[in-house]
Amino acid sequence: MGILQMLMSGGATGTYSDEEIRTLGTAIGNMTRDGGITAAFDGTTTGDYQVSARLDGSNGCLGAWIGKNFGEEVNIRKVTLYRPDGNGSSGSNCFPGSGSGDSDLQYSDDGSSWTTAKTQVSTSAKSYLISDNGADVSKQYWRVLFVGDVNGGSVRECAFSMDTDPPGSVEFDGSGDYLTVPSSSDLTFGTGDFTVEMWVYANNFTNRGTFYDSRGSASLTGMVIGHESSTGKLKVYMNPAGGEDQIVESTDFSTGSWYHVAVTCDSTTVRLFVNGVLKDTGTGRNLSNTEAVNIGYKTYTSSGYDYLDGFISNVRVLKGTALYTSNFTVPTSALTNVTNTKLLCCQSSNSATIAAVTPGTIVATGAVASSDDPF
C-alpha cells in the first residue's frame, strides 16, 4: 500500500486501485510521539507502535488528527488507516483502542477551519477504512480526526485515495463535433414525466446551436433543445412540424458564461429553467420515438439546428421524474445518479465519452474532454 492511493476512473462510480502512487504536499497533524507524523506517510508496511505516529498525553487519541496539505485542490474519496503490526493491544491503537470512539474525515480551505465529510464508526480491524466520503468536493487540506478512544494509540500509515478525474466538460468546436448516445427505451419519454438538464457555455451564436436532439434522422418525433443564431434565445421544440411546436423559450442566455439549463415535464406541463429560475411553461407532446440522441448537433438531418460552438457539462436525463417544478438552487458540484437517472455524462476532464450512467456506449465525433467546468 502506498502513501496515496488513486481512484483510477472518473466520477463517483469509479474503482479504487493501488497501482498508481502519487505523493504531493506535506503531512500535517498533532500525532508527534515516537516516530512522529512523518512515519504515517512514509510508505512503511511493517513496524510496531514505536515507529508509528502517536499522540502523546493522558487522553491518548482523543483529539488526535492526521492529515495532509496536498498543495492543490483534490477530491479525496476514501482513507485507509493502518495500525502497527508489532502491537495489537487495544490500548495502543487509535482505532478503535479499547474505547468506542469514531473518526471524522474532514476537509479545509486553509488548514484551520474544518468541515466533516463523513463520520466512520470504529471497528476492531487492523486496517480502518473511511469510504465514500459523502461530500463531492475538492479541497487542499484533508485530515482524519479521532473523536473518541481515550486510551492511547498510534497510526502506522495513512493512505488517502483521491479522484483522479476532476469535474470537466465536453468541448464542441461548432464545425463537426458532437456526441451520440445509442437509441434506448430509457430515453423514450412518451407522455410521462422527465427531466433533461445540463450546463452550457456558448462561445458564440454564429450557428443555431444544438444542445440535445432526440429526433430520428428523418423523423420529427422527439425533442430538441438549443439556442438561436444571432440572438442566442433558448428554445425547446417537441415533435416540431414546420417549426410550430415550440414549447418553451427564454432570452436569458449569453455567450461567455456557464448556464444551467433544465427542461422538465410534470404530467403535461413542460417547464424551462435557466440557472434555477422558471422562465417559461408549455404543454408537452407524446415523445414516443426511440432514436439515438445527439449532444452538440442535430439528429434530424433537415433541421435548421447546427453544431454548438462551446461546452456542455453534466448532462443528466431522468425518465419518470420531473425533478424541478418550481425555482430551485442550482447544484454547486457535479450531478449524481439519483432515482430514475438514465443518462449522466459530460462530467469528465479526461474523456468525452465516459459516463456514470448510460444506456449504451457513447460515441464522440470530434468532441473532446475539457477541464473547463461550471463549478
Query: Which of 19, 59, 55, 21 shows the shortest CA–CA distance to 39?
Result: 55
Q: What is the dihedral of CA 326, 170, 18, 23, to 10 degrees?
A: -100
State the Cα–Cα distance between residues 153 and 103, nearest whole angstrom: 13
Confidence (pLDDT) at 99: 47
Kindly state the average pLDDT of the residues 43-69. 56
Mean pLDDT calculated for residue range 100-123: 80
Tell me the whole-structure pTM to 2 decimals: 0.64
Residue 4 has pLDDT above 60, yes or no: no
Stretch(es) of the chain classified as CATH 2.60.120.200: 169-370
Matching residue, cell 484533508? 142
Query: What is 169-370's CATH number?
Result: 2.60.120.200
Q: Is 355 helix (H, G, I), strand (E, B) or coil?
A: strand
**First vs last C-alpha separation in the chain:** 32
Residue ranges, CATH 2.60.120.260, the chain: 4-163
Q: In what order do the strands lie in the sheet with 53-54?
A: 33-34, 53-54, 154-155
Q: How many C-beta neighbours within 10 Å does residue 110 have?
A: 9
> Is residue 193's pLDDT more than 60?
yes
Share of the chain above pLDDT 70, in %: 67
Average per-residue pLDDT in the chain? 78
Split at pLDDT 50, 70, 90, the class of 89 is very low
Confidence of residue 343 (pLDDT cuts 50, 70, 90): very high
Comparison of pLDDT for 31 and 37, the residue scoring more: 31
Domain with residues 4-163, CATH architecture? Sandwich (2.60)
Q: Is the peptide bond before 96 cis (omega within 30 degrees of 0)?
A: yes
CB 149 within 8 A of CB 99: yes
pLDDT of 3 over the 50 cut: no
Give me the amino acid identity at 105.
Answer: L
| Residue 74 binned pLDDT confidence (cut-offs 50, 70, 90) | confident
pLDDT the model gives residue 67: 80
Query: How far is the C-alpha of 274 from the C-alpha of 324, rounded, in Å?
Result: 11
Highest-scoring range by mean pLDDT, 15-29, 129-143, 309-323: 309-323
